[in-house]
Structure 1
């Protein structure tokens, strides 16, 4: 198997799209969908977001928390598993804040995604269309997220862009 990259801006519907696609695939495969979540809860607002995502998924989903150990979480998946990773930009934030080697972590993530026998939807934010951030950390994050998205799009089987809840299939040149 391989993975589908699901890109979009904030509140574009990318998580909902990935969730529905995974639920359909899991139903067809007679398996339980798996949510691999990367969020870390630091405040009440983030706790509310996480709770809303859990509620939207419902009890039929298994959840694996992987704020930093995303490649290892992927490696636990088995052939026939169906999963959504939500999301790699939060994972990237965690990697940056932990001062880990981003290039090495990205290589490990791509390796895990490339060899897995599970069917995965990888959710990621497209952050490069806004204004240039006013501080060095935010500019670095934007640049790293752009590089990560390019690498994910290059090695995945399919990429889609979600805009206003609508899917656009992305094609390689």
Structure 2
């Protein structure tokens, strides 16, 4: 697999500090390069009070950064945004696990259709590639949920398989990959330039 020099992958557990690290890293890369825009693709949907609080906290953090983030709220079909980005832009996608969840449940029970699952990986991967090939840097945040035992539940198994496959494909193609634990980023692949 050829490397997509523009991809940086960041993963970690819930509340590990991965989103804060990703925002800072994207902003630092943006500041160092030629003029372009700083974009944030938000896949999260406010499904309950806790999600609403998390979304608000993330928005406030970006607003307090003093940087002009252009936020795109796009829970599904994220690849469609590729056309709005330009060569010198830096894009942060937060987060892959939420995006996958949204795709699986956008329409009821479509995760049970084999042909849909077979196509979903390709659709998501192609969306990532379309954005990565268009911009200077694409930072992708994901959750590290694959370390726990997988329940004997077909939905959980399908989700885990798809997420694992996406993680492997992204990391094998990415220039850099980080695991964030307790707010500390651990360099798993590559060096930030």
| Same-fold call, TM cutoff 0.5 | yes
State the match for 2:151 in structure 1: 133
- Equivalent residue in structure 2 for 1:102, among 120, 130, 136: 120
Q: Does the 8 Å CA contact 1:10/1:125 hold for their aligned counterparts?
A: yes
Could you tell me how far 1:122 is from its partner in structure 2? 0.5
State the match for 1:123 in structure 2: 141
Q: How far, CA to CA, are the matches of 1:4 and 1:129 in structure 2?
A: 21
Q: Which has the larger radius of gyration?
A: 2
- Equivalent residue in structure 2 for 1:160, among 159, 178, 190: 178
Could you tell me how far 1:12 is from its partner in structure 2? 1.0
Call closer, same or farther: CA 1:28–1:49 in 2, change over 3 Å. Answer: same
Q: TM-score, normalised by structure 1?
A: 0.89
Q: How far, CA to CA, are the matches of 1:69 and 1:106 in structure 2?
A: 8
Say whether residues 1:45 and 2:45 are aligned partners: no
CA RMSD of aligned residues (A): 1.9
Q: TM-score, normalised by structure 2?
A: 0.81
- Equivalent residue in structure 1 for 2:82, among 74, 77, 80: 74
Q: How far, CA to CA, are the matches of 2:78 and 2:97 in structure 1?
A: 12
Structure 1: gaps (5+ residues): none
Q: Deviations over 1:9-35 (max 9, x none)?
A: 111111111100111122223554211
Structure 2: gaps (5+ residues): 111-115
